[in-house]
């Protein structure tokens, strides 16, 4: 009986695939080779951020967990890509279903209907789909920083698959799909240029919820838990900075003025963030640490992510400074509150994202505000846009937080997400992968 049901489902799946094949053939639009070339480059740059993140996180954990932690990012490249091609693109960029909870378009399932499709800007839809797919990979990988060094690999894999389906895809649809409700909030939508709410706030909050639910690592905060390789963390941080140009400047999905604006804002915010973290730490602790510098780079980059399309360089630098200051204070607060957000996924991505998404309102360039005002016939004020931004941020926080809590609870009770004491003590590398990261340091 059960077997027959499965067969029916399979047959239905094949049928859906068959009828959805090749309906779109967009012959009217010419390919813009300049825009396409930049989008291809951006796609590669965003992908580069994921090994970058693996190195950044991998260097921050203890030796026994280095591979397990890097695998959190690498495994996401595998599983999230497959999920994205299968249903992710459809759920994010299809038309509203279930009252706009997420999107759906059967042409997008396995990307089967976009083989020859070219988008309005002259970019093949495959490129846009792959570019967006990289965001769906990095977001769950970011969460892993919050519960590093203490999760079961199998449970983690199940968690990111379900998180992608139930949190990332709906949020992405709300914010970036043309019929998403946050895309259409207010005069000209909630501003989230490259993923402040979709990527950083959602990952940060989810990380916080998971870290608190799963509990602290063994020995935290009494025993010092120190980075095994800060050199690798610095290289990873550098790759993230470079890759971020694809992340932000690529989000214009064109190759022109708005790309240049986003690129400049990105560099300005990263530099200002790094510099201010260094100064704050220098005054507070007496020394400017390397880890502090890269944390400042990340805080600045995260804060400018939602804003890159609408702020000018001075505004971007202010956001970078603000984000570094607030994130720095928040990490101090975390140490007082004693919850274990291992690699500060919430402290940097969550907080930086919230700072960026809210405070960008005060630095929006005039032409954007004029355009928004024209759309609603008359005045659209900064305060009204602020309301829209805060609404979008609150929705992302509540939605991602609640769904993550349910997922973590269910997965932990069924498959198990928190490592057992003995696996945690032996290390993720040995317990889940049967390998060691730095074997070459031994004479074998």
Q: Which residues bind other proteins (CB under 8 A)?
A: 64, 218-219, 421-422, 425-427, 430, 434-436, 439, 441-444
Task: In whole angstroms, give the CA distance from residue 164 to residue 288.
Answer: 37
Tally the C-alpha atoms within 13 A of residue 207's C-alpha that lie toward its C-beta: 28
- 370 vs 435, beta carbon nearer other proteins: 435
Of 64 and 349, the one with the shorter C-beta distance to other proteins is 64
Residue 438 beta carbon to other proteins: minimum distance, rounded to whole angstroms: 9
Nearest distance in Å: CB 148, other proteins: 16
For the CB of residue 236, give the shortest distance to other proteins in the complex, in Å.
24
Cβ 434 to other proteins shortest distance, Å: 5
Closest distance between other proteins and the C-beta of residue 433, in Å? 8
Q: Give the nearest distance from C-beta 153 to other proteins in angstroms.
A: 14
Q: Are 348 and 146 in contact (CB under 8 A)?
A: no
State which residue, 367 or 422, has the beta carbon closest to other proteins: 422
Of the pair 286, 434, the CB lying nearest other proteins is at: 434
Buried b (16+ CB within 10 A) or exposed e, 1-23: eeeeeeeeeeeeeeeeeeebeee
Q: Which two tokens stand for residue 302?
A: 């995260």
Q: Which is nearer to other proteins, 120 or 435 (CB)?
A: 435
Phi, psi of 39 (to 5 degrees): -70, -35
Identity of the residue, 170 or 427, whose beta carbon is nearer to other proteins in the bound complex: 427
Q: Identify the H or E element spanning 104.
A: strand 102-104
Backbone φ/ψ region at 122: left (φ over 0), alpha (ψ -120 to 50), beta:
left
H or E segment to which residue 102 belongs = strand 102-104
Contact of 236 with 290, CB cutoff 8 Å: no
For other proteins, the closer CB: 14 or 440: 440
Question: Least CB distance from residue 75 to other proteins, whole Å?
Answer: 16
Omega into 384 within 30° of 0, i.e. cis? Answer: no
Question: What is 264-295 written as a DSSP string?
Answer: HHHHHHHHHHHHHHHHHHHHHHSS--HHHHHH
Distance (Å) of CA 347 to CA 201, 270, 325, 330, 353: 10, 17, 11, 6, 10
Q: Least CB distance from residue 68 to other proteins, whole Å?
A: 13
Closer to other proteins by Cβ: residue 218 or 368: 218
């Amino acid at each position: 009986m059960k077997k027959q049901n499965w067969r029916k489902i399979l047959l239905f799946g094949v049928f859906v695939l068959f009828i959805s094949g090749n309906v779109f053939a967009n012959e009217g639009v010419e390919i813009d080779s300049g825009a396409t070339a930049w989008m291809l480059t951006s796609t590669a740059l965003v992908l580069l951020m994921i090994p970058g993140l693996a190195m950044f996180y991998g260097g921050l954990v203890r030796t026994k967990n280095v591979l397990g932690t890097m695998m959190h990012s690498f495994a996401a490249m595998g599983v999230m890509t497959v999920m994205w091609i299968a249903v992710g693109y459809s759920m994010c960029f299809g038309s509203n279903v279930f009252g706009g909870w997420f999107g759906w378009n059967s042409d997008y399932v396995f990307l089967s209907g976009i083989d020859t499709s070219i988008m309005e800007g002259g970019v093949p839809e495959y490129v846009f789909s792959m570019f967006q797919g990289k965001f769906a990979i990095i977001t769950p990988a970011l969460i892993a920083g919050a519960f590093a060094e203490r999760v079961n690999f199998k449970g983690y894999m199940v968690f990111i698959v379900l998180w992608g389906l139930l949190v990332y895809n709906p949020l992405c649809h709300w914010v970036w799909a043309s019929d998403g409700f946050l895309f259409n909030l207010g005069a000209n939508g909630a501003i989230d240029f490259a993923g402040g709410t979709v990527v950083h706030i959602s990952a940060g909050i989810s990380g916080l919820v998971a870290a608190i639910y799963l509990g602290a690592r063994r020995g935290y905060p009494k025993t010092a838990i120190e980075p095994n390789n800060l050199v690798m963390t610095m290289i990873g941080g550098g790759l993230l900075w470079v890759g971020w140009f694809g992340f932000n400047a690529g989000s214009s999905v064109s190759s022109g003025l708005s790309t240049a604006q986003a690129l400049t804002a990105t560099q300005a915010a990263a530099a200002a963030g790094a510099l201010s973290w260094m100064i704050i730490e220098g005054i507070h602790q007496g020394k400017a640490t390397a880890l502090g510098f890269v944390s400042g780079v990340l805080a600045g980059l995260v804060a400018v992510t939602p804003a890159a399309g609408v702020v000018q360089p001075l505004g971007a630098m202010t956001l970078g400074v603000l984000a570094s200051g607030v994130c720095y204070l928040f990490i101090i607060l975390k140490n007082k509150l004693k919850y274990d957000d291992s690699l500060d996924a919430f402290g940097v991505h969550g907080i930086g994202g919230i700072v960026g998404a809210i405070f960008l309102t005060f630095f929006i360039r005039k032409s954007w505000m004029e355009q928004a005002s024209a759309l609603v016939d008359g005045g659209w004020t900064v305060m009204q846009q602020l309301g829209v931004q805060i609404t979008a941020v609150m929705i992302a926080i509540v939605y991602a937080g609640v769904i993550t809590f349910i997922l973590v609870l269910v997965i932990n009770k069924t498959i198990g997400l928190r490592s057992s004491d003995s696996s945690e003590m032996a290390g993720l590398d040995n317990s889940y992968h049967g390998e060691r990261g730095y074997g070459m340091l031994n004479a074998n």
